[in-house]
A and B are shown apart, each in its own frame.
Chain A
Amino acid sequence: MAATDFRALERTNRRETALLVAVFLMLFTALGFGLDLLIGDLYLTDTGGIGGVPLLTVAALIIGIIQALASYYGGSRLVLASVHARALTPDTPQHQMVLNVIQEMAVAARMPPPRAYLMDDPAPNAFATGRDPEHSVICVTQGLVNTMDREELQGVIGHEMAHIRDYDIRTMMMIAVLVGGIAMLADFVYRWMWFGGPSQRRRSSSDNGGGNAGALILVVVMLLAVLAPIFSQLLAMAVSRQREYLADAASVEFTRNPRALLRALQTIANVESPLRNASRGTAHLFIVNPLEGARDDDEGFLDNLLSTHPPLSRRIARLQALLDQPATAAASSMQASGH
């Protein structure tokens, strides 16, 4: 799917993310309302409408939101501590250059520059976190600083800056709330079944067709309770991959030079070391999946579905397609000789 330029890529991406989030919301609502219908918080009225308050749906939502707010406001500090990062200071000319590149990308992105941190890890990687551009953080590894030249650094830091500007951290947090909420609702269904739920169901106010509708709702909710948690995980991964592609396109928007990120990803692809201090919880924040090293290649349909990041080969291919457009090719070769 070769796009003509980064703007077209960004548009498509934002549309697809919105679609995925809509599916998420529908799933959550379907499971929640279905459950509330079953246990009687909601009921079907004579005129075919729905009455009552979906208590369980609301409860799941509130618990999820409280969890999200906690990580929203405390988030950066926790993540930085878990990866043992320290503040990046201009103690060497190399570090001064990294700070300068961060400043350059902040100008290009029209954002205040994020606070800079450093991880003492030989694997080349970087991540960004923070709830909005004013409270954001970028962390790079010493390995990244050692292996990348200035052009490649611009590409990587541009990508991270894009995550911050497009509120990806916030989006993924919202997705996490929905995934957690769906898991919670599915759990309620199991407990309700375990405690002999179907036989305790209160009658709906309308009797005609009440029995058939009730049975149908029961079957649908059971199915959802089994399938929804898995499906929501897959959806969450799909959103994460979508945002990675978007950040790649936005990096090109900032640098106007697809070669920058392209070369950086190619360099990373040739390195085989996993990050020491990453965990499942923080993996999605990095530019390249830190847990398996750079083995982000196409590992097959199922493996790809479960991954937070798209395969490196595909990301490189999309950037290459941008580079092959006559307009961008001319622009980026001018840029490369100028900087």
Chain B
Amino acid sequence: MGLAIVVIIAVIVIAAIAGYNSLVSLRNQVQNAWSQIDVQLKRRHDLIPNLIEAVKGYMQFERDTLTQVVEARARAISAPDQASRIQAENQLTGGLGRLLAVMENYPQLKSDQNVLRLQEELTTTENQISFARQAYNDLVMRFNTRIEVFPTNLIATQFGFHEAELLKTAPEEQAAPKVDLSLGAKHA
């Protein structure tokens, strides 16, 4: 009888340790996934000046689109806090999406090797940002679920594990790309 109680206590203790460790592991993975996104965002900042330089000459009528991208990038780099940084990055994503779409209307761009190379660099960076966000959200979902289910929810509240926030697609990113077909009268 005494042996049974010892065994039961041992099982509970082991389960508790396993639960705690899994929470720690998941929380670290979530932080790692967040910094992966950060790495990709910084890569994007570095690519943009070269791209703007390369396409500027061809796309004189798209000043608005180009300016939006340059300004969003500046805001993202100099953002004072997390919230404004996220907003600026989302606007940058929207602006770049519109730029890439508009570039389709300029066949001359396709013959410029430099432009093609930069376009590919930008496309893969945007994709990697998107996948990094997806990976982050997947991990956050697993982490939050682990915090909520029984029995790990007991350990979570005991040791102060808090749910992480999912990254949602911002409205700025969801806007459909605008293609400006006017002949440039209103561009300064």
Residues of chain A lying within 8 A (CB to CB) of residue B56: none
Are A254's CB and B124's CB within 8 A?
Answer: no
Are A338's CB and B134's CB within 8 A?
Answer: no
Are B36's CB and A93's CB within 8 A?
Answer: no
Beta-carbon nearest neighbor of A255 in chain B: B131
A103 at interface (Cβ–Cβ under 8 A)? Answer: yes
Residues of chain A lying within 8 A (CB to CB) of residue B97: 338
Which one, B120, B126, B131, B134, contacts A97 given CB within 8 A? B120
A256 at interface (Cβ–Cβ under 8 A)? Answer: yes
Beta-carbon nearest neighbor of B177 in chain A: A337
Interface size on B, residues (CB 8 A): 19
Are A110's CB and B33's CB within 8 A?
Answer: yes
Are B128's CB and A103's CB within 8 A?
Answer: yes
Given contacts A100-B120, A100-B123, A104-B127, 8 further A-B contacts (CB under 8 A): A96-B117, A96-B120, A97-B120, A97-B124, A104-B124, A104-B128, A104-B131, A110-B33
Tell me, in angstroms, the Cα distance from A338 to B94 when the chains sit together. Answer: 10
B135 at interface (Cβ–Cβ under 8 A)? Answer: yes
A107 at interface (Cβ–Cβ under 8 A)? Answer: yes
Residues of chain B lying within 8 A (CB to CB) of residue A93: 113, 116-117, 120
B interface, CB within 8 angstroms of A = 33, 36, 40, 97, 113, 116-117, 120, 123-124, 126-128, 130-132, 134-135, 139
A-B residue pairs in contact (CB < 8 Å), sample of 22: A93-B117, A96-B117, A96-B120, A97-B120, A97-B124, A100-B120, A100-B123, A101-B124, A103-B128, A104-B124, A104-B128, A105-B131, A107-B40, A107-B131, A108-B135, A110-B33, A110-B139, A150-B123, A256-B134, A339-B123, A339-B126, A339-B127
Are A107's CB and B135's CB within 8 A?
Answer: yes
Residues of chain A lying within 8 A (CB to CB) of residue B132: 107
Nearest CB of chain B from residue A145's CB, rounded to whole Å? 14
Interface size on A, residues (CB 8 A): 16
Nearest CB of chain B from residue A110's CB, rounded to whole Å? 5
Residues of chain B lying within 8 A (CB to CB) of residue A107: 36, 40, 128, 131-132, 135
Within 8 A of B (CB), among A288-339: 338-339
Within 8 A of B (CB), among A89-113: 93, 96-97, 100-101, 103-105, 107-108, 110
Are B117's CB and A254's CB within 8 A?
Answer: no
By Cβ-Cβ distance, the 10 closest A-B pairs, closest first, are: A100-B124, A108-B131, A107-B131, A104-B127, A107-B128, A110-B135, A107-B132, A104-B128, A104-B131, A339-B127
Tell me, in angstroms, the Cα distance from A97 to B127 when the chains sit together. Answer: 12
Beta-carbon nearest neighbor of B116 in chain A: A93
Residues of chain A lying within 8 A (CB to CB) of residue B33: 110
Most buried by A among B40, B113, B116, B135: B135
